[in-house]
Amino acid sequence: MTNSLLSPSTLTFGLPDYANLSDADFREAIDQGMAEHLTELDAVAKDTEPATVANVLEAWERSGSLLTRAMNAFWVAKAADTNDERDAIEEDIAPRLAQHQDAILLNEQLYARLTQLKERADRGEVSLDAQDAHLLSESVKDFERGGIALDEGSKVRLRELNTELATLATRFDQLLVAGRNAAGVLVTDEAGLAGLGADDVAAAREAAQATGRDGWLLTITNTTGQPVLADLHHRATRERVFRASADRGLTAGEHDTRGMLLTMSRLRHERALLLGYRHHAAYAAENGCAGSTQAVNDILGRLGPAAFALARSRGEQLQAHLDEIEPGATLEPWDWAYVDGRLRQHEAELDQGALRPYLEFDNVLTHGVFAAATALYGITFHRREDLVGYTPQARVYEVREAGVDGNRGDHLGAVVIDPYTRSTKQGGAWMTSIVDQSHLLDDSPVVTNTCNFAAPAPGSPSLLTWDNVITLFHEFGHDLHGLFSDVRYPSRSGTAVPRDFVEFPSQVNEIWAFEPSLLANYAVHHETGEQMPAEWVEQLRAKSGQQTFRYAESLSAMILDQAWHQTPAEELPDGPEGVEAFEAAALERAGVGYAPVPPRYRSTYFHHIFGGGYSAGYYSYLWSEIMDADTVAWFEEQGGLSREAGERFRRTLLAPGGSIDAMESYRSFRGTDPDLAPLLKRIGAE
């Protein structure tokens, strides 16, 4: 059969023909796409006509269509449903893609075309609108940050560094998935599962059977803490689960990631010095809204100790309660979620486990996530059973604008939902783009929403935790950023914004999970149809108890990220055995060394910074939350869930994507710079 990736998709919405794509098709299209892209850019570079918007910016943005189409299709499928061949393709193409990027950013002729266009615009010979000017400015900056000014010897070394780092990141992530799968805890005595619901027990039995073993397999998610720790009565089982999670990659063997992350940290530091920066963190911060590591350190230094003071205070309460239920026991990380839940019950507060029968996935998605978007923006969602996603578990929904006078609204885009965990899926939750919105190319957006919720046992409902609900709303906030993109250039579409801005719209979208009018419809018992009790709703809105833990664990992970990327190479551990001590010292220096609340990710399974694109940028969740809290305060001032407020948020903040400066879009929306006070109030650190 013909490889359908080699030409624009003829399917609805431009979806790749996943039903008929082979892994060999991905490889062929990527190989051909890289070659075509360089040929197309060579034509841009060697054009002898005076530089214009059309023959530089627009020609550049039109180039590489095959590579973009192939890579978007491949990355989505590989991250969500990998196999040996896809792993091999990724390992092969990762260094080649780094070399491909260097071939562009170190091309002096291409850079000269950009600078010529800038000079002509400065002289008034070429007219640039706001989107043209921003794209040109960002493109020039990309070349300067990419090493265009280096001498030839330094460029050779830069290429070597980029290639090696790309290879290591790919191998790190592959080890991560394998290590997570291997870390599952097999329980052979059902008594060790006391506290888990019948559906969870059935799912654990099925997971064990899938691996050919008897008993019950408790699978591991990518975070340090595990959902089952909140429910397991059996303390020894809780400890086994926690240690299986927290010790991943820390011992010599096939899943040991320590040497790899040390090498990456050293190479990133070398590259930063080569490019003229003090360290990798300085290089990363310059390209974000924070602007400098000083700004990042200031906010972490202010909020880290404050959050851990609250955590220690709560820890004292938990220790006192643990003394009652486990006399003589010392509060440990595997106790926190469990004892916190029991204490809330004792205090007549909310038991997180009791929520699950009220949080059935389809109800949450349709009457919660989708309904919020309809109330705010008027858009509607239509399941397309006729369309095939990248796995059989994925669902495709068409998204339409608000209709007028009873007529169906215009097509806006599409979203692919893939909710359940599987051994072939990387950990965490994410949004990606299969098709980027662009007026230049006349493309409508197609985005994905990929999570790792526990798959229900056959015939059982899919019941979520409250954290799962927040995750679904969060990732859909990213989806909305992509769907509402209204830009000319595809490279500026949707979430193509600074790393410490990209999480902001998604975090704002979390607030609608607490909206009473939505909860009344989506938080209903899956058997009886009764609404979640009103007092539970109020306690959810208060977001007490476990929030203390969440802020503390996230802040300590952010501090670890900065420690790895601000420390000079010569001061990093000499070998793998020094990784744990380095972590402990970094947390202690920052005033956040508290054993019952470990980092959300330990270094050895910190995908964001060693396998993903967040190196020295994990702080962005906090930086984004400053804007998020300030925006939530604004929505409250506007009366909450309303079309008028939603339209303003959509048009001034989501629609511009990366076509203008991110903080400019924020000021356009809010009228001022973000205020830290709402976040301090939110976490109780005023």
Contact 176, 607 (CB under 8 A): yes
CA distance 639 to 30: 49
What CA–CA distance (Å, rounded) separates 153 from 142? 20
At residue 416, the 3 state secondary structure works out as strand
Given strand 395-400, what is the order of strands in its sheet? 380-383, 395-400, 411-420, 446-453, 430-435
To which residue do tokens 């615009």 refer?
Answer: 121
For residue 218, list its beta bridge partners: 185
Integer Cα distance of 484 and 437 in angstroms: 9
Instruction: Label residue 616 left, alpha or beta by phi (over 0 means left) and psi (-120 to 50 means alpha).
Output: left
Which of 397, 393, 391 has its CA nearest to residue 479?
Answer: 397
Contacts of 338 (CB under 8 A, 6+ apart): 229, 230, 231, 232, 233, 238
Q: Where are the beta strands (DSSP E) in 436-482?
A: 446-453
- Check: CB of residue 45 under 8 Å from CB of residue 109: yes
Q: Give the phi and the psi of residue 418 in degrees, each rounded to 5.
A: -135, 90
Question: Which residue type is seen at 536?
Answer: W
Closest CA to 7 of 71, 66, 60: 66
What's the CA dihedral at 302, 304, 305, 310 to 10 degrees? 120
Question: Which residues are registered as beta bridge partners of 446?
Answer: 414, 435
Partnered with residue 398 across adjacent β-strands are 382, 414
Residues with active-site annotation? 475
Give the separation between CA 419 and CA 439, rounded to whole angstroms: 31
Dihedral Cα 303, 307, 309, 312, nearest 10 deg: -160
